[in-house]
Amino acid sequence: MSADDDPEARIRDLERPLSDFARAAELTVPSAGAEGYAPPPRGRGIAVAVGAIAAALVIGAGVAVFLIAGGLTNTTPGHPSLPSGAAPAPSTAPIDVPAPPAEPSPAVPVPDSAVTVTIAGAGENKTVACAGNYVSVSGVSNTVVLTGQCAGVTVSGIGNIITVESTPRITASGLNNRITYRSGNPEVSTSGLDNVVERG
């Protein structure tokens, strides 16, 4: 019987190139201790899976505590809470609609604390419209008539005569000043000597 007729010999001949190739591959793969080669970490996939399971358990426990503590109950003061699965009844409570902001009256200007009208000098005779502003009068022997609504009036100096139509505050200092207001009941503050504030 020749080698071509023997099936086992034929199989050995066919397997020989495969075993030679495997032996050559083993020689080219570095061993675990070779320089520059680190073996793949073992158990890393298991650690990731265990971490994911632990995170899922923590999140699930948090959701359970939230639900048990009543985090999803629908309660409003004065209304009973609904049992789970119940549909809420339509609300019949009145709806509060905010009122539009009130506009200031055109007859009384809104005071602007940033604007102060200053009148100074000696022997002046003036009529000034307050228009909701603060007015400060100083100097000597001035006669001033203030019309409209003033935010506040301050008078200082000597011998000034002031007439105010309307103001919530009057402050007088200095010497011998006379302030007359025509309407309202202003808050009056005086200092100095012989200053008079009166209604007239």
154 falls within a domain: yes
Tell me the pLDDT tens digit for each residue of 60-93. 777 777 777 665 555 555 555 555 555 555 556 6
5 falls within a domain: no
Q: What is the domain count for the chain?
A: 1
User: Quick one: pLDDT at residue 24?
Assistant: 56
Q: Report the largest interatomic distance among the alpha carbons of the chain, rounded to a whole angstrom.
A: 152
Spatial separation of the C-alpha atoms in residues 196 and 190, rounded to whole Å: 8
Tell me the pLDDT tens digit for each residue of 174-196. 999 999 999 989 999 999 899 99
157 falls within a domain: yes
Segments forming the whole domain that contains residue 164: 116-199
SS3 content of the chain, % helix, strand, coil (to 5): 25, 25, 50
What value does the mean pLDDT of the chain take? 75
What are the residue ranges of helices labelled H in 29-159?
A: 44-68
Measured CA to CA in angstroms, residue 157 lies from 29, 53, 90, 152 at distances of 107, 86, 71, 17
26 falls within a domain: no
Instruction: Enter the pTM of the model.
Output: 0.45
> Shortest CA distance to 183 belongs to which of 107, 113, 115?
107
85 falls within a domain: no
Q: How far is CA 180 from the centre of its chain?
A: 48
55 falls within a domain: no
User: Quick one: pLDDT at residue 126?
Assistant: 93
Band the pLDDT of 108: cuts 50, 70, 90: very low
* Rg of the chain on CA atoms, in Å: 50
Band the pLDDT of 110: cuts 50, 70, 90: very low
| Burial environment of residue 159 by CB neighbours within 10 A (0 to 12, 13 to 18, 19 or more) | middle
- For the chain, the residue count is 200
100 falls within a domain: no
148 falls within a domain: yes
Q: Which residues, 6 or more positions from 13, have their beta carbon under 8 angstroms from its beta carbon?
A: 3
